[in-house]
Amino acid sequence: MPPVDGIWGTPTSTIDWCEENYHVTPLIAEFWNTISNVIFIVPSLLMLGIGTIEGHEERFQWCHFSVFTVGFGSWCFHMTLLYSMQLLDELPMIYGAAFHLYSDIEVTSPLNHKNRPLQIGLAIYCAIVTAFYLLSQHVIFFQVSYGLLVTLMVFSSVRLMLYYEHNTLLYLTGLVTYMSGFVLWNLDQHFCGNLQNMATRAPEYPLGSAQVHIQMCEKHNLRIDMTWEDCDEFICSQCAKTDHKDHDWKTKQEVKGEKS
């Protein structure tokens, strides 16, 4: 939407989302895009607390913390539409995706295993993306950089699905919803005018333009699904860590052999 001044001043972000600015309250630029981040913040804080009490692996804790930082940054960004807050939203998305990719790859490793080469590689990738994005402010570069990490997460999850016993429905739900969220996220940026036209041209539709806001909330909910489901399953595999030193991941062939 065209920039509208509010309590936070003139928007300075390089992206202005489809939701009408300061339409609900002068305190929040994009009301629905802001409050929908509760789905990031509250569950991640709860799981951080549970993980601390239960003594879960460090990588799981970093996953939950990264989800919290994305939610907090996104709240600040959509509330203010300031460029500094935009970076607080977008850069944690890169770092969080790197944490989740690392955790996904390491899920079959021994308990508390440290994959230093992978850690260094992901850290270098994040540093390069951060430096280039800060210098160029090129949104497409950010989207491609984030999309690459998402694609690698998908491939890693598919690998687990193909070779190891798992909850198929859980993984398929995570894959489909996460990719759907990524698509909706991009559609919201590139086809805002079309979405607004659909709302304004259907005055008889009871939800009217609120439908666009609902789609925004749905976008945020979908974007978290695979992250949350993956971490939830990994943590469940650690609940009996006092009885099992290592992860008990079995290949499909091993399970088939046991059944025969």
**25 forms bridges with which residues in the sheet?**
28
201, two tokens = 């041209």
Q: Which amino acid is at 128?
A: I
Query: Which residues are within 8 A (CB) of 172 and not within 5 positions of it... i.e. 6 or more apart?
Result: 161
Residue 154 structure tokens: 């998908």
- 21 in a known ligand binding site: yes
What whole-number distance in Å separates Cα of residue 45 and Cα of residue 197?
38
Q: Which two tokens stand for residue 209?
A: 């333009």
Contacts (Cβ under 8 Å, ≥6 apart) of 190: none
Q: Which two tokens stand for residue 91?
A: 């850069």
One-letter identity of residue 254: E
The CB density around residue 112, as the number of other CB atoms within 10 Å, is 11
The pair phi, psi for residue 90, each rounded to 5°, is -80, -45
23 annotated as belonging to a binding site for a ligand: no
Give the 3-state secondary structure of residue 201.
coil
SS3 208: coil
78 labelled ligand-binding: yes
Residues within the annotated binding site for Ca(2+)?
16-17, 19, 21, 30
Residues within the annotated binding site for Zn(2+)?
78
Residues within the annotated binding site?
16-17, 19, 21, 30, 78
